[in-house]
Structure 1
Amino acid sequence: MAGTTIPTSTETVAPAALLQLMWLASPALPVGGFSYSEALETAVDSGRVTGEAQAAQWLRDQLQLALGRSDLAAAAQAFVAWQRGDADRIRVLNDWVLSTRESRELRGQTEQMGRSLVEWLKNRAGVDPRLAQLAALPPAPSWPVAFALAAVQTGAPLREALLSFAFGWAENMVQAALKAVPLGQSAGQRILAALVEAIPPAVDHAMTLADHERQAFAPMLAILSSQHETQYSRLFRS
């Protein structure tokens, strides 16, 4: 696949679709995103992140080097595949996401959040046959692929869906930083503002990536995630 073409004109987002994207990005969505730090807790424990500036840099790097080149790109391609009803493509993308989780905790996170979103979608009004396809993905639906279907159901354009995905990640990660570093609320808002500035270009880049350009190569993130499994004191599940 050659990547997803970025629209050249601004697409109007219906109010109902915009509200649903806000809902999907909310920490209150019952998928457990707030319970993961994605190795940030171990970065704090090891002394790599000790304050606001380092936390902001860590999360910005993670957005650009990891999320933007892997999960955002996979979600973009899954969004298009769900729209086209391409079940084979969905399976390939889900397999890729699961195979690129470099620790037990990171794989467990994407599987647990994917399953939880499936259950949430089952409780919404209307019947979507694609939901059964999502639920049946072996061994579990991944979070980016599940989110992509939820976003397609809103009727929102792709770019706005990816902005929602990235902002939901950012808000959860900032909350993790507040607890793990720890930081105050004002510091958290400054970090979130920096991430909000960095998200649109990360989304635009993710939308251009072809299959061979997607990658999840973040060695230190993987090492710290593995170390988190045996960390003595933990607040988070990853």
Structure 2
Amino acid sequence: MPEAPPLLRLLAWLSPAFPVGSFSYSHGLESAVNDGLIGNRDELEDWLSGLLIAGSLWNDAVLSAHALRAAGKPAELARLAELAEALAGSAERHLETTSQGRAFLEAAHTWNGAGIDGLPDNCAYAVAFGAAAGNADIPADEAIAGLLQAAISNLVQAAIRLSVIGQSDAIRVVAKLENEIAATAHRAVQASLDDLGSATLLSEIAAMRHEVMHTRLFRS
């Protein structure tokens, strides 16, 4: 039988059914909604756009792109994993990235030769995914765009569960951000680690405020 193309593996790893537990996390979105910062489609779209351009999703894209190129180099991957942990701005952000990374590594071992041995157990999700994508020969632009698309889709689903938008508006948000996702992925593939950084202060504050919410649906 012919060998399955890398695209199939990419789609499997980024499927909502892949057991990384992403549905449990809102990336601080729940706190932002609770504080009245996000209450409609336009505000959600602006929030997500900021994360892509100059926030946590940008950092994840850069880290993942570097991990993809460092696939098969344990020492370099370990340094990237340590850097990714350090960039988590709050306890819940740290939990979010390491728990998903750990779950991804466990599930991805199903594929022989996924090339993820040697990564720390609590490896950040972006680094774990990038390393696996590199060993699967998934093109960098496609891998990083897929990672960002999955993240945006997950946050849009969180917004639906928080009653910010309905399904129709959710589709509009995903469609509107499509070009921005592609552009961010392309930029991240060419970026150096010196390009890491976040300017989305409200998102970071929202993530920290979520830690002290008494009633909540999500873990972050």
TM-score category of the 2 structures, normalised to the smaller one = over 0.9
Matched, 1:106 2:93: yes
Given that 2:68 and 2:135 are in contact with CA atoms closer than 8 Å, whether structure 1 keeps it comes out as no
- Any idea what SS the aligned residue of 1:70 has? helix
User: 161, 174, 181: which one pairs with 1:192?
Assistant: 174
- Distance across 1 between alignment mates of 2:188 and 2:41: 27
**What does residue range 72-221 of structure 1 map to in structure 2 within 5 Å?**
72-82=61-71, 85-124=72-111, 126-127=112-113, 130-134=115-119, 137=120, 140-221=122-203
1:68, CA displacement in angstroms?
A: 4.8
The Cα of 1:197 is off from its aligned counterpart by 2.1
8 Å contact kept, 2:105–2:128:
yes
The one-letter code of the counterpart of 1:86 is K
Match of 2:208 among 201, 226, 235: 226
**1:61 maps to which of 44, 50, 72:** 50
Out of 149-158 and 176-185, give the one that drifted further: 149-158
Q: Secondary structure at the match of 1:131?
A: coil
For each residue in 1:64-115, what CA deviation from the matched residue of structure 2 results, as whole angstroms up to 9, or x when unmatched?
1114531100100010000xx3222111111111001010000001100010
| One-letter code aligned to 2:187 | H
Q: Distance in 2 between matches of 1:68 and 1:50?
A: 21
Q: Give the drift of 1:142.
A: 0.8
Give the partner amino acid of 1:131.
I
Deviation (angstroms), 1:219? 2.3
Q: Tell me the amino acid that sits aligned with residue 9 of structure 2.
A: Q
**Aligned-partner residue type, residue 157 of structure 1:** P
- 1:51–1:181 Cα contact (<8 Å) kept: no
Q: CA deviation at 1:199?
A: 0.4
Larger deviation, residues 115-124 vs 209-218: 209-218
How many aligned residue pairs are there?
218
Which residue matches 2:20? 31
Question: Which residues of structure 2 form unaligned runs of 5+?
Answer: none
After TM superposition, give the deviation of residue 216 of structure 1 in Å.
Answer: 3.4
Change beyond 3 A, Cα 1:196–1:209: same
- C-alpha separation in 1, matches of 2:199 and 2:42: 24
Q: Does 1:43 align with 2:32?
A: yes
Q: Which moved more, 1:44-53 or 1:215-224?
A: 215-224
Q: Which has the higher contact order (CA 8 A, sep 6+)?
A: 1
Q: Please, what is the CA RMSD of the aligned residues?
A: 1.7
Instruction: Please give the secondary structure, in 1, of the residue aligned with 2:190.
Output: coil
TM-score, structure 1 normalization: 0.86
Structure 2 CA distance for aligned equivalents of residues 219 and 50 of structure 1: 18
Which 4+ runs in 1 deviate beyond 4 A?
none
